[in-house]
Amino acid sequence: MNIRTALRRAILGAATVVFALAATSCDEKLSDLTGPTPNLQPTFTSIQQEIFNTTDASGRLACTNCHSNVGRNPSGGMNLLGAVSYANLVGVASTGKPGAVRVIPGDPDNSYIIHKLQGSSDIAGVRMPRGNGPFLTDGQILVIKRWIANGAPNN
């Protein structure tokens, strides 16, 4: 084995160790960051139960309050009720912003749902949830980003 190959292997090995340690420490911190949703995990089932379907003490926050077809047309054409929410999110174009995709598997930074939840300057309309909040915590958004970064599986 030449020196160049040995060096590449050493760098790759070190990067793997650093990545594994970072992932472990991030997982440990998720529970500290998610605030009102301590059981939130970076899985679609958990996000559905702990965020999309959850209402806060004031009766607000549940995404399905506006994004459902129960007695209405879902806001933005996006129905987030359990049986259809995944199909309405992953790989689906936004109806509010041409060219934007709601969830791009593996790419949280360009997934429009993250822009809407963070209130980024490039969004059409307003930050979600609509109104003056309460908005998702940074930790809750981090979990959604982690799910998307993991490929947005229907798990």
**pLDDT attached to residue 26:** 44
pLDDT band at 37 (very low <50, low <70, confident <90, very high): confident
CA distance 117 to 45: 19
**What's CA 118's distance to the chain center, in Å?**
11
pLDDT over 70 percentage in the chain: 72
pLDDT band at 108 (very low <50, low <70, confident <90, very high): very high
What are the tokens at 39?
């059981």
**pLDDT attached to residue 4:** 56
CA distance 116 to 129: 8
How far apart, in Å, are the Cα atoms of 26 and each of 3, 30, 50, 110, 147? 34, 6, 19, 21, 13
Tell me how many helices (H) and strands (E) the chain has. Answer: 5, 0
**pLDDT attached to residue 124:** 95
